[in-house]
Structure 1
């Protein structure tokens, strides 16, 4: 019988997103980007008849953020500034923070040099009763789990 402290996994429905300089409403969905490093085959003439595996380029997946559409234009204006001026001076850092049932920060991923590549608003329908949702896809240059 185990005598250690029980460690239940965290639920995925309580989180917050903090973006430099943007004070927007809470998000309904946020993806934590994947990371992958390519394996590069390398073989010299004196090696055994199999290739060695060297590490290659590391790639980071995109982030998608979704929230109910409100009066706030902050996310739209960030995307518009990319369209007008490019990403050079419009990159932001952001954090995705997982919160436990008691409201304590439990896990945190910091995203570096992010900028939006896509902005979308859900379709409108006079027959529907769903919440109108705006979504944004971000690219970035690194993700770090800091907590």
Structure 2
């Protein structure tokens, strides 16, 4: 079991608005939203013939929910390039899928208010099951065009090599 060092001085939980996502060793530009990391383990109920009328419960199969990444539409081709590895219209019959490299491991990093890396999660064997290149376009709207990918995955774990940062402290300059 991994051991975590705990900053006894930190009282507040981390905020959900400072984060970055990395794949292929590079940070992906402009991601504004990352869906939750969620896993669910099925409950297997069983009982023996001599047991009372209640059931025993044990863990069964664990499923990992898909993760959605959203960002504003830009010229950065990363979302589309990855989605095209799962299915590409122009590759021809029998070569629609890039079987060798359509899966990627990704890293989700969470930062504290000072911009220090606080927590990271490794997500394994992801692939794009849904890609939205453009949203509904509306000439009367005042909004950013958002694209998204939905990533199926085969599990995730906390990156225990990321330790809790020593939070900065400073004294503001005195004016007068």
TM-score (norm 2): 0.75
In structure 1, list runs of 5 or more residues that go unmatched.
Answer: none
- Give the secondary structure class of the aligned counterpart of 2:22: strand
Shift of 1:87: 5.5
Give the stretch that moved more between structures: 107-116 or 79-88.
79-88
Q: Aligned match of 1:64 in 43, 61, 68? A: 68
Which residue number corresponds to residue 24 of structure 1? 28
Which residue number corresponds to residue 101 of structure 2? 89
Higher strand share: 1
Aligned mates of 1:21, 1:11 — CA distance in 2: 25
* Distance change >3 Å, CA 24–CA 135, structure 1 → 2: same
Question: Where do 4+ consecutive residues of structure 1 move more than 4 Å?
Answer: none
Shift of 1:89: 3.2
Larger radius of gyration: 2
Which residue number corresponds to residue 78 of structure 2? 74
TM-score (norm 1): 0.89
* Distance change >3 Å, CA 55–CA 28, structure 1 → 2: same
Which residue number corresponds to residue 171 of structure 2? none
- Asked if the contact 1:27–1:67 (Cα under 8 Å) also holds between the matched residues in 2, the reply is yes
- Give the secondary structure class of the aligned counterpart of 1:85: coil
Matches within 5 A, 1:127-146: 127-146=140-159
Shift of 1:6: 3.8
Shift of 1:26: 2.8
In structure 2, list runs of 5 or more residues that go unmatched.
Answer: 1-7, 88-95, 161-176
Shift of 1:127: 2.1
Number of aligned pairs?
Answer: 144
1:109 aligns with 2:121: yes
